[in-house]
Structure 1
Amino acid sequence: MMEDERKNHTEDAPHYGDDEHPSFIGHDLDSKRNEEYAQEFTADDLRDSEVPEEDANPGTFYGWAGIALALISFFVWPIILGSASIIFGFVARSRDIDVLGNIAIGLGVISMVMSLFVIPFLF
């Protein structure tokens, strides 16, 4: 019964020649490239990330942000940005990103020590 239904649908469909079809003017309708791709592309195919989600750790953001704040703190607001980099470093360490967290903490401490004890005696 399914084959009979398919025959009826194909027999009832309008058939156009190459020059008659309104949306394919100048195109070859018998081309092998006219395919439907809807079932071939899925949401899983569109993932841009090469790192699996299990390996991605959000603590890396806090580590890099802490390092960036520490480097900026050498030039502007050393107490505020230095303490923020220390806090970000501890958050990164709590999320198992020890190296970035330790660097952020160390640079933040150095920036704060320099601003409190070294820089006032230089000028």
Structure 2
Amino acid sequence: MADQDRGFVARDLRRKNPDEPSDYREETAAEIAAPVVVYNRRRGLNEERERAAGGTGIGTVGLALSILSLFVLPILFGAAGIVLGFIARRRGAESLGSWAIGLGAVSIIIGMFILPFF
């Protein structure tokens, strides 16, 4: 009511001619706020532990195969140790997977290039 006294004319910008008075008497607004994100640190730690626990068994088997490949069938067991090492690293057992990959690669290199000369 006070706006009409001051000569304020409501305009509808959706119309082709915005100078014509509008039939609508409503006010709209939009609020912008950051979304509320609740982060549970304990849940993140538990998921990380479960993920690492899933790769620990595979990492142990990969490391055992890589060590065994130093003595018997280096190409076969070394390759199997490398593959299981990559799987273990992907599942969260970083160190076991890395050791399995490294020892398997060393075993294959020794088996292909050094052992034929003995």
Q: Which bracket does the TM-score occupy, shorter chain normalised?
A: 0.5 to 0.7
Determine which structure has the larger helix proportion and give its number: 2
Deviation at 1:75, TM superposition (A): 1.0
TM-score in terms of structure 1 length: 0.54
Q: Which residue of 1 aligns with 2:112?
A: 116
1:63, distance to aligned residue in structure 2 (A): 0.7
The question of 1:73 aligning with 2:69 is answered yes
| Of 88, 98, 101, the match for 1:102 | 98
Opposite residue 63 of structure 1, the aligned amino acid is: G
Gaps of 5+ in 1: 1-52
CA distance in 1, matches of 2:59, 2:92: 10
For residues 75 and 112 of structure 1, the distance between their equivalents in structure 2, rounded to whole angstroms, comes to: 11
The residue aligned with 2:57 is 61
- Between Structure 1 and Structure 2, whose CA radius of gyration is higher? 2
Tell me which amino acid in the other structure corresponds to 1:76.
Answer: V
- Residues 55-113 of structure 1, C-alpha deviation per residue, up to 9 Å, x if partnerless? 34210001111110011111111100000000000000101111110000000000000
Once superposed, which parts of structure 1, at least 4 consecutive aligned residues long, lie more than 6 Å away?
none
Q: What does the per-residue CA deviation read over 1:22-60, in whole Å, with 9 as the maximum and x for residues that have no partner?
A: xxxxxxxxxxxxxxxxxxxxxxxxxxxxxxx85342100
Q: Secondary structure at the match of 2:92?
A: coil
CA RMSD between the two structures? 1.3
CA distance in 2 between counterparts of 1:103 and 1:120 reads: 25
How many aligned positions are there? 70
The alignment's TM-score, normalised by the length of structure 2, stands at 0.56
Structure 2 gap ranges (5+) = 1-45
Whole-Å separation in 1 of the counterparts to 2:54 and 2:93: 9
Please give the alpha-carbon distance, in whole angstroms, between the structure 2 residues aligned to 1:107 and 1:94: 18
Q: Return the alpha-carbon distance in structure 1 between the equivalents of residues 75 and 109 of structure 2.
A: 9
Percent identity, please.
46
